[in-house]
Amino acid sequence: MALDLETRDQLIDTVRRFVTERLRPLEAQVSETDTMPQDVIEEMKALGLFGLSIPEEYGGMDLNMEEECLVAVELGRTSPAFRSAFGTNVGIGAQGLVMFGTPEQKQKYLPGIASGDIITSFALTEPEAGSDSANVQVRAVLDGDHYVLNGSKRYITNANKAHLFTVMCRTDASKPGAGGVTALLVERDLPGLSVGKPEKKMGQQGAHICDVNFDNVRVPVANRLGREGEGFKVAMQVLDRGRLHISAVCIGVAERLIADSVAYAGERKQFGQAIAQFQLIQGMIADCKTEALAAKALTFETARKRDAGQSVTLEAAASKYFASEMVGRVADKAVQIFGGAGYIADYGIERFYRDVRIFRIYEGTSQIQQVIISRETIKRGG
């Protein structure tokens, strides 16, 4: 159910002030220490950020897709690592449970997810499965009223903090591809589950990814999401929403970079005048602004279609494809506008340049989005 306009505006204003007053001053510290301050996490909990998309009956805000995108744009105006702290609770780590969970599963987990007391994680990627998401090899063998889980997942966001994993696993070895994949809710403290050390990454320090290993982990059948063999369906529907969320974050980052570039170009003088007066600088600013506006229009049009109950698999893929590629180009131009200052750490532009690179990879690479867009376009006949 959509918020009334006054409540929505108050929420956006609160998030905007939190980003400006609390998060932006901490960007360099988080990047240097690769650690998210616990007091900031507690403030995020108090603001309800962990429960943006969780139904109200379980303590969440139950934002629709357009409202979630509005919040995500504001969160994009600071280092993406901050959003990642609660992003899996809002998106891929929890939406499978929201969409496909039984009443008992929802009652057990969603209140804790909404409050931030339970951190969730989405375990899909493996050494041989990522873009080929139907090729998961982690095995779950039925043994009485439990599945016995074996194998490893790779590059799993928030794995070192997660209390609950949505794990895509193969329950039917006789069915290759999507038909043999099932989704299980796996609690962190089950015997045999271990999490590797956080990987060293190109960007987004403060947000961690790790391997997750399963050694004869016994998972109750009651923790299965949907029916056996429906795991791929769960994953794809979760990713539709997640792609729009990421699109909105990309828009927010682009708007931040454009604002910083315009401010710098107005102050930096060369040849006796501000570089903002030079047409080649103006051309880069114009390109960045136009692309950001186009991404915003596409993303929010798609969000409204999804809220209206329309299928948006094509449009969500197109939004994510365009927005993630767009913010990469904007970051590149921002470095160029800042010149040498953009290449050093003091201004933070080089950090954003590194941070945004991952947007073209997770929630489906740009190439996977192209496959989806073309496939769905052909299905529709144009």
Whole-angstrom Cα Rg for the chain: 21
Q: Strands 164-170 and 120-123, how do they pair?
A: parallel
Place of tokens 């901050």: 82
The amino acid at 227:
R
Contact 326, 356 (CB under 8 A): no
Backbone angles phi, psi at 165, to 5 degrees: -110, 135
Contact 168, 231 (CB under 8 A): yes
Neighbouring residues of 351: CB distance < 8 A, sequence distance ≥ 6: 27, 28, 31, 79, 203, 345
Contact 112, 118 (CB under 8 A): yes
Q: Token pair for residue 185?
A: 């809710």
Reported as half-sphere exposure (CB side, CA atoms, 13 A), residue 300 has a value of 14
Contact 118, 163 (CB under 8 A): yes
Residue 255 known to be catalytic? no
Which listed residue (21, 32, 363, 376) is catalytic? 363
Q: Token pair for residue 27?
A: 């960007």
The amino acid at 235:
A
* Nearest of 23, 4, 93, 105 to residue 51 by alpha carbon: 93
Separation of alpha carbons 155 and 209, rounded Å: 5
- Taking each helix axis from N to C end, the angle separating 231-267 and 279-307, rounded to the nearest 10 degrees, works out to 150
Active site residues: 363
